[in-house]
Amino acid sequence: MNKIVLTAASRVGNVRSNNEDMILAFDRFIRSDIYQTVLAPENLDRFIVAVADGMGGHNAGEVASELVMQSLKFYVNDLPKGLSSGELEEAINDWLQSVHQTVNARGRVNKSMSDMGTTLVGLLYYGKRYFWMNCGDSRLYRLRDGQLEQLTTDHSLFNLDGEKKHSNVITNCIGAGCNDTYIDMIEFTDDFKVGDIYVLCSDGLNDMVPDVIIARMLQEGATANDLCEEAITAGGYDNVSVCVLRYENQ
């Protein structure tokens, strides 16, 4: 039986006064805190690990990220058993459209939350299958055999222009007054291997810490909080939230 060692941390950083990020780690919401647990996938029907990076003035970003994470947790828990991969992807898209409308509606009702929104990156386990999902520019990385690879694609201006680097201008998210949203969702069950290390993060990590350092730290056993500390030491210009999942032999 294999296990997933999960560490999660969300930190406010050195510049901002509040933390607009939120993590959903299995059954726990995390903001300005750290967490660790061990998951045994063979004994579970489903679980979700996700990072949301909120945006918007007057603390509205933290409202958006919390609203989306709470909705996601209950939606995943309430999914019926036995869905095919296609049915699951359709269900997640239905949820996305619904929560997108909810975030936008909350912003219209309360002008201090106008145009609030959030990114979302997640790893979902359902019915013995693994999926990743992405809306925005938060990221999912995988370290395998010493090589760090970004699995998600940033929904950003630079990527539209064909530039493979991070941009502060995103082209897709949940809410933010946008008419439309979409989510990338990929099943990768056959490519989820023992020895892999997965990192979900807000851009507060990858904006401050180069991939080569992230890879080295992971190989040396770094936890999510270690990576947050590295980002804060490097300047910590933004909130930083990280989940590290190590897939190991029991």
pLDDT (tens, 9 = 90+) of the chain, 250 residues, equals: 899 999 999 999 999 999 999 999 999 999 999 999 999 999 999 999 999 999 987 679 999 999 999 999 999 999 999 999 999 999 999 999 999 999 999 999 998 898 999 999 999 999 999 999 999 999 999 999 999 999 999 999 876 555 555 557 899 999 999 999 999 999 999 999 999 999 999 999 999 999 999 999 999 999 999 999 999 999 999 999 999 999 999 7
Question: Partners of 112 in the beta sheet?
Answer: none
DSSP character string of 8-45: EEEE--SS-SS--EEEEETTEEESSEEEEEEE-GGG-S
**pTM listed for this prediction:** 0.95
Tell me if 122 sits within 8 A of 200, measured CB to CB. yes
Half-sphere exposure of 222 (CA within 13 A, CB side): 23
- For residues 170 and 215, what is the distance between their CA atoms, to the nearest angstrom? 25
